[in-house]
Chains A and B, each alone.
Chain A
Amino acid sequence: MYCIDYVNEDSVLVSSQSAVHCQALPDLANFLKHQLTNITDIIVASDTLLCIGNSQTQFESISIAVQQFEVQLSKRTSHQVFDIPVCYAEQLAPDLTAVAQQLQLSVNQVIELHKQSVYKVKMIGFMPGFTYLSGLNPQLKLPRKSTPVSKVPAGSLAIAEEMSAVYPSDSPGGWHIIGQSPIKLFDKHLDLMCPLTVGDQVRFIELSYEEFLSYGDSSD
């Protein structure tokens, strides 16, 4: 069951306490985008979806569309699996040794545990393209740093609490940096500015330092 609440003049918050319904929120977002005109933005998070309309939007139409979606909830589409190349080399991983020490693991164990998991895009926000990935191995759980670093470089592979992420651009940040990815998770010059969508699955593919340095050089 989805609950629908109006939060301001043009936005409706759709929420659910059922795991099946929460998992289907990204599909509901797609469904609403196709079913309704006058919707400007839909933001999906773990157990809620905010649907923002314009002054022409009829709230009732959102409510009806949500009910229609519930009826066909069983016929859900599946999401893509996305591979993100990362390099865990020391030069690119300022916090990796400290993380291993805090967790009482070896550096290699941290790397293995990190790349074994299949992650899920839980939400996108904080800054353009910042993708929160759930599914971090519980053995790697650490609180955020007590003092955030003023500049985390773009591409930094990070972990904190139960999540992992890749910083899409330079920014301040309090997560632990355990590597770097050569790919951009937000590029305003591309048609698809952000390659990931909430609900997608993500795997990290390890690159050696040499592969990282030459990544994207091969002209095929």
Chain B
Amino acid sequence: MTKAASLTVLRSGPQMLVVDQGRIGFQHIGVSPGGPADKHAFNWANRLLANHVNSPALEITFGGAKLHFEQACQIAVCGAEVPLTFEINKANNKPITTWQSIDVEAGQTLSIGASRSGLRAYLAIQGGFLLDSELNSVSSSPKQALGPFNGRALQQNDKLHYCIKSAKQLASTPVQQTPYQFIPNYKEHLKLALIPGYQFHAFSTQQRQQILQQEYQLSELSDRMGVRLKGIALDNVPRTKESEAIALGAVQIPPNGLPIILSVDRQTIGGYPKLGCISRLDLFALNQRHPKQSISFYLSSAEEQRQRWLAFENFFN
């Protein structure tokens, strides 16, 4: 039997969730899939540790967290650029950065500072966290009360378990780094590939041009359910239609004329008119943008974005 060690949350920061690839297969009964808001960084964190692609990790929004490790282990933090420091044995430590595997000694406390660029950092641990799944997933879903701790965000003194590795096992795992060309710059202006679909043709030519030509800013009201945009509102938005299923990345235009891009915690059905969906790789990049950063749209095809997506999936699977 494998012995387990615990990781204790000393400070959770604004929001810390457990995530895996998400709760697949229950959308017909209204269960949102959830999972990482940015699968690119999540997948890299697991890959650096040679973990299974569905290994649970922590999604730490805005940083500001502190974690205590009972036993030695290897971790990786990818995504938002957060300062990382060990509070104990500081002197012994080499500088630690994101996008690489990190050796942690028994009893160390890791401080994760406020994010300088990007919103969400993913902390994976070699071998994954040991958690019971609910509806085939360990992802936290506060609104649905599904996942560890009945779905709520992690709080101070929560403990998560991981497998103890022998000194020999740990010594034999060299440090891995993400090659720099795979590390996104979250400060850049982002262009989102829009796959036209749903009610795209219900919008006038002029409305479509307006959407494709303007720059939008992210609203501070954005979250894992939807990213709200600010800009010049569309006039005379087509009428709300019969409710229908909402695909990941759907761009809905409510009566106020400002787009909302539906993300991982989206509700499964809705009735606002939709222009189509943005590509999911762009959605991951969008979910790393701070409020007030700017974005714009360009038209693309489902086929082109599917090829991008397949290349991403093949790379990580």
Residues of A within 8 A of B (CB): 5-11, 13, 29, 40-50, 52, 55, 123-130, 132, 169, 186, 188, 193-194, 198
B134 surroundings in chain A (CB, below 8 A): 188
A5 surroundings in chain B (CB, below 8 A): 197-198
B247-273: CB near A (< 8 Å → 1, else 0) gives: 111100000000000000001111000
Known: A9-B306, A128-B146. 9 other contacts (CB 8 A): A6-B303, A8-B248, A8-B305, A41-B24, A43-B245, A44-B28, A45-B242, A46-B242, A193-B26
A123 surroundings in chain B (CB, below 8 A): 243, 269
A111 to B249, CA, bound (A): 42
User: For the side of the interface on B, what is the size category?
Assistant: 35 or more
A9 to B309, CA, bound (A): 7
A46 to B270, CA, bound (A): 12
Residue pair B27, A7 in contact (C-beta under 8 Å) = no
**Minimum C-beta distance from B288 to chain A (A):** 19
Residue pair B244, A7 in contact (C-beta under 8 Å) = no
Residue pair B309, A10 in contact (C-beta under 8 Å) = yes
Residue pair A6, B302 in contact (C-beta under 8 Å) = yes
**Minimum C-beta distance from B248 to chain A (A):** 6
B146 surroundings in chain A (CB, below 8 A): 128, 188
Q: Which residue of B lies closest to A130 (CB)?
A: B30
Residue pair B267, A52 in contact (C-beta under 8 Å) = no
A48 surroundings in chain B (CB, below 8 A): 242, 244-245
**Minimum C-beta distance from B30 to chain A (A):** 5
**Minimum C-beta distance from A157 to chain B (A):** 18
Tell me if B144 counts as interface (CB < 8 A to partner A): yes
> What 9 A-B pairs come out closest when comparing CB atoms?
A125-B269, A50-B245, A43-B245, A6-B302, A8-B277, A194-B29, A7-B197, A9-B309, A41-B27
B134-145: CB near A (< 8 Å → 1, else 0) gives: 110000000111
Residue pair B280, A129 in contact (C-beta under 8 Å) = no
Residues of B within 8 A of A (CB): 24-31, 33, 134-135, 143-146, 195, 197-198, 242-250, 267-270, 276-277, 279-280, 302-303, 305-306, 308-310, 313-314
Residue pair A125, B302 in contact (C-beta under 8 Å) = no
Would A126 and B267 be within 8 Å (CB), given that A13-B197, A55-B313, A132-B243 are in contact? yes
Q: Which residue of B lies closest to A57 (CB)?
A: B306
**Minimum C-beta distance from A206 to chain B (A):** 26
Q: Which residue of B lies closest to A6 (CB)?
A: B302
Residue pair A49, B245 in contact (C-beta under 8 Å) = yes
Q: Which of A6, A10, A43, A198 sits near B27, CB closer than 8 Å?
A: A43
**Minimum C-beta distance from A38 to chain B (A):** 11
Residue pair B279, A8 in contact (C-beta under 8 Å) = yes
Most buried by B among A5, A9, A55: A9
A194 to B135, CA, bound (A): 13
A194 to B144, CA, bound (A): 14
**Minimum C-beta distance from A163 to chain B (A):** 10
B308 surroundings in chain A (CB, below 8 A): 9
Residue pair B313, A42 in contact (C-beta under 8 Å) = no
A-B CB contact pairs (8 Å), 13 listed:
A6-B302, A8-B247, A8-B276, A9-B309, A41-B26, A45-B244, A46-B242, A46-B244, A52-B27, A124-B29, A124-B30, A126-B269, A129-B29
